[in-house]
A and B are shown apart, each in its own frame.
Chain A
Amino acid sequence: MSDTEEQPVETSGETGESGDAPEPGTADSAVEEAAKTTPRGVPLRIQNLRKEFGGITAVADASFQVEAGSLTGLIGPNGAGKSTTFNCIAGVHRPTSGKVFFQGEDITGLRPEQVANKGLVRTFQIAREMEDMTVLENMMLAPRGQVGESLFNSVVPGIPAPRFLDDSQRQRWERVVPQGRRAVTRQEEDLRERAWETLEFFEIDHLAGEYAGSLSGGQRKLLEMARVLMTDPEMVLLDEPLAGVNPTLEKKLLKRVHDLREEGLTFLLVEHDMDVIMNNCEHIIVMHQGTVLAEGEADDIRNDDRVIDAYLGETI
């Protein structure tokens, strides 16, 4: 009945101290493309969000916002309502009340694919690759609004422009006359190039032809991040991306996140691990018992008595 599959995840004990200071990343064309969008103030705003399951209130009146180009952390002890909030934003749950705005637009209660198509794309806590698809297929799946996602275009052969037309006439011909499979193939070639570049950025291009199911837990995490980038997102929701990840990989992943943030991409990072958030996020939101307990920079949070109490009160 449950649709989450058990997937092997690289386990490591303590994640230890984490996160180097962010280094400016090397410019990469794939990344540039992903981050081309200019920040527009506040991309994500949550207003009095409330979610009840049966009689249980998982989130009660949570409000916060995420600044453009920031790496914002959302943290809290178990059962604080982080995941529910996350799922309300991503469209998995419909909030009982309250609003979610993305780039000034009300996206409350939209379905997951509608949220994603606004440019707000999520990852999963346990990396969920399409195991029977190759790494490249996984990558190629992601780009939004592909020509070939239409059944008609995928099947029908296109009519090429006659040779006697000049370039501008050809362009007009291709706009007017159905290009079908021809247009699909052309776009596939472009996307293939982007997929390879993105895989290189995450240093998993040597795995391109492997089935995702044969990847290690760490490689899946990298693939998941790479796949999200292929959607050309405005903002990325990261659901505990470092859970069960060894320190080396953790560094690698965080470095990529910082690189992308430098390029202008916005991140909301949901984490259970306090240290990760403290060392990496410039803005931190602490949730407890379904509400926002504290908000601010790492130092503010560190010295906040309420936060300390909330975490000390947690049984692990």
Chain B
Amino acid sequence: MAGAVAVLLLLDLLRRLVDGSLGPSTLLTYLWTGLVIGLIYGLAGIGLSLTYSILNFANFAHGEYVTVGAFSGFSTAYLVAGGGIATLGNLFLLRPAAGQVGVSITSAPFAVVVGLLVAVVATVVVALVLDRVVYKPMRSAEGISLLIASIGVAFVVRYLLAIVYGTQRPGVTAGTQRYFVGEALGLGRFIVDAHQLIILVAAAVLVVGVHLLLTRTKLGKSMRAMADNEDLARVTGIPTERVIRSTWVLGGGLAGAAGFLLVLSQGTIAYNIGWRLLLLIFAAVILGGIGSVYGAVLGGIIIGIVQQASAVWLSGVWSDMTLPVTFALLIVILLIRPQGIYGGVETT
């Protein structure tokens, strides 16, 4: 059933391309922006997937780690880029208007790089502190108790950020270099901007890094062993506490990076961006298969592209249906392939 619908949609897509109602540059734009946003889902998803399989619970605070990365990264970027424009306090709180400080890879590349690094480090610290305070005392609890506790954590973190940064949604990036790729290839106007390229590069580096870590290092192998069977791992002498901490380091760091990159690409920041992303990240992780790194990335890309490409059919007022359709996809995945794309396959 679901397969038939997918085939029909693809055929319709072809028809639209052939009869000209859908320009190739439009389709390419959908695919490209879908890929970029999907990579961000995927980056955040890797962490969620790892904590899900190693700590055995669905972490509903994972979206907040994304938000922590976004705010810590951009506060840092503002402090680096905006010296002299406003007081340090106001810079930290992202108070100056976007045009005044304007963090972008072209105007302030150093600030962006430092911001990304601080986003990763700060989120790792937050993840470790939360693990120590919240999850460590309840290691033996069942998954649902941990899940509920993580909902509590999500509330605390989200509204602490709301108190510190406020509940508005300011723009924090400046415009950046745009490249008109399509015209050279004869495919019409098709824009790629520098931030999207940064996201592509950063995501690729991080995914390959995580892959190498999980497959080549002893720590990574321990993590995979624990994902498979915690009791067995414990018996065979894997230091589970260390593996758990490493999981948070990895998962938190990637979520933080994803948060920073997300704001870099969309330009605005708010205390609830991570929460709004959470279900999409869950969709990516389940689609890819829980515990699989590549699965999370691939799942993220698919969700991202589906979201963008759905505009082919959902135009005008119907674009309001994009989010419901994407979430419905999640339920359909659970119905037809709950183990995900990489489920049951030996992967990292």
A151 on the B face (CB < 8 A): no
Q: Which residues of B are found within 8 Å of A56, using beta-carbon distances?
A: none
Q: How far is the CA of A2 from the CA of B230 in the complex (A)?
A: 9
Q: How far is the CB of A314 from chain B (nearest CB, A)?
A: 20
B 211-241 contacts with A by CB, 8 A: 229-231
Give the complex CA separation of A1 and B143 in angstroms: 8
Q: CB-nearest residue of chain B relative to A2?
A: B231
Which residues of A are found within 8 Å of B231, using beta-carbon distances? 2
The reply on B25 being an interface residue by CB < 8 A is: no
Q: How far is the CA of A1 from the CA of B231 in the complex (A)?
A: 10
**Closest chain A residue to B142 by CB distance?**
A5
Proximity bits, B327-338, A CB within 8 Å = 1, else 0: 000000000000
| CB of B56 within 8 Å of the partner chain | yes
Nearest A-chain residue to B232, judged by Cβ: A2
- Measured CB to CB, the nearest residue on chain A to B143 is A1
Which chain B residues numbered 73 to 130 have a C-beta less than 8 Å away from chain A?
none
**Residue on A with the closest CB to B228?**
A1
Q: Give the 3 A-B CB pairs with smallest separation, nearest first.
A: A1-B56, A2-B231, A1-B230
By a CB distance below 8 angstroms, the chain A residues around B230 are 1-2
Chain B residues 124 to 166 lying within 8 A of chain A, measured CB to CB, are 143
Give the distance to chain B from A53, nearest Cβ to Cβ, in Å: 11
Point out the residues of chain B lying under 8 angstroms from A2, CB to CB.
229-231
Q: Which residues of B contact A (CB under 8 A)?
A: 56, 143, 229-231
Quick one: which of A1-32 are within 8 Å of B by CB? 1-2
CA distance A300 to B226 in the complex (A): 45
- A2 to B143 CA separation, bound complex (whole angstroms): 11
Complex: how many Å from CA A1 to CA B57? 9
Complex Cα–Cα for A2 and B56 (A)? 10
Closest to A54 in B: B344
Chain A interface, DSSP helix/strand/loop, else mixed: loop
Q: Which residues of A contact B143 (CB under 8 A)?
A: 1
* In the bound complex, CA of A150 to CA of B78 (Å): 64
Chain B nearest CB: distance from A272 CB in Å? 20
Q: A2–B229 Cα gap in the complex (Å)?
A: 8
Expressed in whole angstroms, the minimum distance between the Cβ of B146 and any Cβ of chain A is 12
A-B contact pairs, 6 of them (CB 8 A): A1-B56, A1-B143, A1-B230, A2-B229, A2-B230, A2-B231
What distance in Å separates the Cβ of B50 from its nearest Cβ neighbour in chain A? 14
Complex: A243 Cα to B187 Cα, angstroms: 72
Shortest C-beta distance, A78 to chain B (Å), equals 16
Residue of A nearest to B344 (CB): A54
B240 to chain A, nearest CB (A): 14
Residue of B nearest to A4 (CB): B231
CB distance from B31 to the nearest CB of A (A): 36
Question: Hey, which chain B residues are within 8 Å of A1, CB to CB?
Answer: 56, 143, 230
A2 to B53, CA, bound (A): 12
Please report the C-alpha to C-alpha distance between residue A1 and residue B229 in the assembled complex, in whole angstroms. 8
- Complex: chain A residue closest to B56, CB-CB: A1
The closest CB in chain B to the CB of A3 belongs to B142
A1 vs B55: C-alpha distance in the bound complex, in angstroms?
Answer: 9
Min Cβ gap A54→B in Å is 8
CA distance A1 to B56 in the complex (A): 6
CB distance from A55 to the nearest CB of B (A): 11
- Contact flags (1/0) for A227-238 with B, using CB distance below 8 Å? 000000000000
B341 to chain A, nearest CB (A): 18
Nearest opposing residue in chain A for B52, CB measure: A1
Q: Which residues on A sit within 8 Å (CB–CB) of B56?
A: 1
By beta carbon, the residue of chain A nearest B290 is A1
Min distance, Cβ B225 to any Cβ of chain A, angstroms: 13
Q: Min CB distance, A93 to chain B, in Å?
A: 15
Q: How far is the CA of A143 from the CA of B286 in the complex (A)?
A: 39
Q: How far is the CA of A2 from the CA of B228 in the complex (A)?
A: 10
- What residue of chain A has the Cβ atom nearest to residue B140's Cβ? A6
> A111: shortest Cβ distance to chain B, in Å?
17
Bound CA span A2–B231, Å: 9
Measured in the bound complex, the distance between the Cα atoms of B206 and A151 in whole Å is 53
* Docked CA distance A140–B165 (Å): 58
Residue of B nearest to A1 (CB): B56
**Residue in A closest to B231 when the chains form the complex, CB atoms:** A2
Binary flags per residue of A95-137, CB closer than 8 Å to B gives 1, else 0: 0000000000000000000000000000000000000000000
Distance between B347 CB and nearest chain A CB, rounded to angstroms: 14
List A residues 66-95 near B (Cβ within 8 Å).
none
Q: How far is the CB of B229 from chain A (nearest CB, A)?
A: 8
